[in-house]
Structure 1
Amino acid sequence: MELDTQGPVGEVALEADSYLATPQSAASTHVYYSTQTEGQRNWFDLYNGAATEKRPLGDPVGFLMSSYAGSSWCCSGAMVSPSLFLTNWHCGGPDAFLGNAALEAGVWSPDICADSVIDLSWDGDGTSREYACAQVVAKDKALDFALLRVRPIGPTEPAPYARLSLDGPAAGLLDVIHHAGCSPKLISQNCALTSTSHPGWIQPTTTELTHRCDTEQGSSGAPVFDSQGRLVALHHLGFAVDPRTCKYQDRENKAVRIAPIIERIRELAPDAGGELGFPPAVVNTP
C-alpha cells in the first residue's frame, strides 16, 4: 500500500477491510485449458527465458485487476496511447455477469472502472507503474474489447504504448505477452498463426484470427504481436469445448483482429480514434 500526501498531516488512522492477493505463479496442479500439450505450458517469464529482442514488446503490456461485490479477477491488456488501455469487454465484470442480459449491462460500469487497477510493472522489476481506470471510452461485446482512459497512480514516466497494425499479421510467427493465471509478465513466443478469417464469438462475421500460443485464464485481453512487433490482435478465447462431452472441438486460441476494433472505436469515440492515429475519414461534399 502506498500513501501520498499533499502536505503536512496530523494523526491518520488507516484500516483495510479487504484486499486482493495475486499468486507468484499458477498452482502446479492447475489444469491448463488452452495449451497445445495438455497439462503443460509453453510460455516463459518475459525477462528470464524469452529472446532478448522480444522484451521491449512487453513494456506496454499491463496486468488488470478488478473486483465487484466480493468477486475479483485478473486480465491482461496493453497501452495503445499514453493514456488509453485496450483489453477485453468480458474483463469488465465477474463471470456471473456473462450470459445474463440484465447483468451484462453492468459490464465496465463506472463502479467497476473505479475499482480497476492496471500495473505495467507486474514483471519482477523494482519500478512501479500503476494506473487507475478513469473512464470507459468505448466498449463492444461482439468484438470483445474495452478501451479505457487511465491515469497514473503516483508519479511515473509517460506510459509506453504498442504500435498498432490494421494490415493484419506479417508473414511469420506470433507472440502473445500476457498474465496467465495472474502471474507476472509472460510470453508465449514463436507461435503459429492458423487462420486470419475466423468467425466472431457472437456474430458470424470473420473478425478474428486463430493461433497456437499457449494461454490461460488471466490471458484475456493480451496483445498478439506479429513478427514485426506490431499489435495485430487482442486475445480473448481459448479452445472450443463441446458442452455435452466437455471435450475440445479444436486446439486453437482466438484473438480479435485490431482492424475491426479500430473501425468500431472510430464509430463510438471518434476523438479516441484520432488519438490512436486513426481519425474519421474526411468526406468532401459538393
Structure 2
Amino acid sequence: MSFERSEISFQQCLSSAMACFRFADRIAYRPSLWIGFVLVVLRFTAAQGAELEAQRDGVIESASYVTPAFSEDQNTNPAWQAQIERLGSLYLRLRINAEGVESPGSVLRIRDRSGRLIREYTVSELLSRGPFWSAVVPGDYALVSLHTSGSLAGFHLAIGQVAYQAHGGAPLSTVGVDEKEPVANYADDPVIARIERPVARLLLVEGGIPRTCTGFLIDTGELMTNNHCVNSQATCESALAVFGYQHDRGGLLHFGEQFECTKFQESKSSIELDYAVLQLRGNPAKVWGTLSLSGTDPAPGSDIVIVQHPAGEPKKISKKGCLISALPVDGRASQTDFSHSCDTVGGSSGSPIFNASGDIIGLHHYGFGEDGDWNENRAIRMKRITEDLSQN
C-alpha cells in the first residue's frame, strides 16, 4: 500500500467512522504506514486552521484613572482630566466604564499628544454602552477630559485598562526577498488607486490581547475579514476599522478615519471558509468606496495583487512576484483555497487578493513559517465564499 493511498483512506476516515475502522485495521501491522498516518494527521490539523488566530499586536495593562465625587455646584472645566502615556507605543486604547446619573450637555473628550480631538462621547452614550474599548489614539499619549455645562453629581467614570502596541507581526510568509511596498508607489495606477481605498487596518481585543488583521468594504457599512480574526459579537464590539492609514507620496503618514464594529453577522460567516462580515457604524463607503467579489476562479500562474496592513503597519501592496501557485488546494476544508507566492506577514489575515481587473478573487488567511507544513501562503477562493453568501 502506498503512502498516497493511505492518505486518501485517512481523508475518508475523517468523514466516516466505519471507513476509519477499516483503515485502522488495514495498517495495524504496518509500522511505516502508522508513521504516515501520524504525519497526515499533523498536516490535516494544520490545514484545518487549529492554530489560526488574529496577530497579537500589543499588551493590556491595568490602570486606575477614576473621577472624583462631583458636587452639585461643580463649575470648573474641564471637571476632570487624566494624562495617559506609554512611551514608544504606536497607539493607545482605553477601557472605559461609566455609571450613575446622566448629565445633559456633558462630554468626554480624548485627544492625542498634538491636541487633536480623536473622539468625543456624550455622557448619555457612555452610560448606555457599559464597559467598552475606546477609539484608537495614535501615538503613545492620550489626554482624557470631562467637560460639563451642568451638574455631574452622581456620575462616575473609570478607566480600568490601557491597551497599547508593543510589537509587530511575526516575520513569516515572505517568499524570498520581501517585496511589499507602500501603496503610494502606485498612486498613478488607476486600478490600484481605486482598490486600495476600501482596505482597512482592523484593530481588536480578543482573549485579553490587542490584535490586528486586515479587512475591506463590500457594501455600504459591511466589512469582510477572516473568521479567525472576528468570530463573535463580543470581539466585534472591541473592533475598529481604520481606513486611510498609510503614507502619501511625500512620506507623510496619515492616520485615517476609524469606524466601530457594531454587529458580527453570523449568517454571513463561515469557519470552514474562514470569512466573516461585520457591520460598521456609519457609512464609511461614502468616502472610501466598496470592492467587488468575483465568482470566477483565476488560472494557476495568474498575476495577482494583495493590499494589506502587515503587522498593523501602514497600508502596503504585494505585487512583485505575486502569483497563484496552485488551485484548488485544501484549507480548513477540502479544496477551499489556492496557494500563492505574495509576501505577507502576521496581520495580513483578511486581506483581499485581486486580479488584474481589480476584482477580488481570494481572501488571504494564513501563511507559512520556518516550522510550517508547506512553503506557500494560502487564500480562500472567493468563488467559494460568494457561493456560500448566495446560499445564506
TM-score over 0.5 for the alignment? Answer: yes
> 1:196 is aligned with what amino acid?
L
After superposition, residues 1-286 of structure 1 pair within 5 angstroms as 1=110, 2-3=119-120, 5=122, 9-10=148-149, 16-22=159-165, 26=168, 32-37=171-176, 40-47=177-184, 49-50=185-186, 52-53=188-189, 54-92=192-230, 108-124=231-247, 126=254, 128-137=256-265, 138-152=268-282, 157-169=286-298, 172-190=302-320, 191-199=322-330, 201-204=331-334, 206-239=335-368, 247-268=371-392
Q: Deviations over 1:219-242 (max 9, x none)?
A: 000000111111111000102x6x
> 1:255 is aligned with what amino acid?
A
Unaligned runs of 5+ residues in structure 2 are: 1-109, 111-118, 125-146, 248-252
Cα deviation for residue 67 of structure 1 reads 0.5
**Alpha-carbon distance between aligned partners in 2 of 1:172 and 1:33, rounded to the nearest angstrom:** 23
**Alpha-carbon distance between aligned partners in 1 of 2:341 and 2:332, rounded to the nearest angstrom:** 21
Cα deviation for residue 50 of structure 1 reads 3.8
User: In the alignment, is the contact (CA less than 8 A) between 1:82 and 1:159 conserved in 2?
Assistant: no
Provide the secondary structure at the position in 2 that maps to 1:21: strand
> 2:204 is aligned with what amino acid?
S
**Alpha-carbon distance between aligned partners in 1 of 2:255 and 2:286, rounded to the nearest angstrom:** 10
**Alpha-carbon distance between aligned partners in 2 of 1:15 and 1:225, rounded to the nearest angstrom:** 45
CA separation of 1:223/1:3 partners in 2, compared to 1, >3 Å: closer, same or farther? same
Unaligned runs of 5+ residues in structure 1 are: 93-107, 269-286
Cα deviation for residue 126 of structure 1 reads 4.3
User: In the alignment, is the contact (CA less than 8 A) between 2:170 and 2:345 conserved in 1?
Assistant: no
Cα deviation for residue 263 of structure 1 reads 1.6
User: In the alignment, is the contact (CA less than 8 A) between 1:63 and 1:75 conserved in 2?
Assistant: yes
* TM-score, with structure 2 as normaliser: 0.55
- Over aligned residue pairs, what C-alpha RMSD do you find? 2.9
CA separation of 1:156/1:220 partners in 2, compared to 1, >3 Å: closer, same or farther? closer
Provide the secondary structure at the position in 2 that maps to 1:263: helix
CA separation of 1:233/1:247 partners in 2, compared to 1, >3 Å: closer, same or farther? same
CA separation of 1:18/1:210 partners in 2, compared to 1, >3 Å: closer, same or farther? same
Provide the secondary structure at the position in 2 that maps to 1:229: coil
Cα deviation for residue 112 of structure 1 reads 1.1
- Counting helix residues as a fraction of each chain, which structure ranks higher? 2
**Alpha-carbon distance between aligned partners in 1 of 2:337 and 2:280, rounded to the nearest angstrom:** 26
CA separation of 1:20/1:178 partners in 2, compared to 1, >3 Å: closer, same or farther? farther
Q: Deviations over 1:83-136 (max 9, x none)?
A: 1110000002xxxxxxxxxxxxxxx22211111111112224547422111111
Q: Deviations over 1:44-94 (max 9, x none)?
A: 1111x34631232210101111113521100001101111110000002xx
Select the structure with the greater relative contact order (CA < 8 A; seq sep ≥ 6).
1
CA separation of 1:227/1:133 partners in 2, compared to 1, >3 Å: closer, same or farther? same
> 1:195 is aligned with what amino acid?
A
Provide the secondary structure at the position in 2 that maps to 1:59: coil
**Alpha-carbon distance between aligned partners in 2 of 1:126 and 1:252, rounded to the nearest angstrom:** 32
Cα deviation for residue 14 of structure 1 reads 6.4
User: In the alignment, is the contact (CA less than 8 A) between 2:227 and 2:276 conserved in 1?
Assistant: yes
Cα deviation for residue 172 of structure 1 reads 3.9
User: In the alignment, is the contact (CA less than 8 A) between 2:261 and 2:278 conserved in 1?
Assistant: yes
Figure out how many residues of one structure are paired with residues of the other and give that number: 238
> 1:110 is aligned with what amino acid?
Q
Provide the secondary structure at the position in 1 that maps to 2:281: strand
* TM-score, with structure 1 as normaliser: 0.73
Match of 2:92 in 1: none
**Alpha-carbon distance between aligned partners in 1 of 2:367 and 2:384, rounded to the nearest angstrom:** 20
Q: Deviations over 1:134-161 (max 9, x none)?
A: 11122111000001111139x9944411
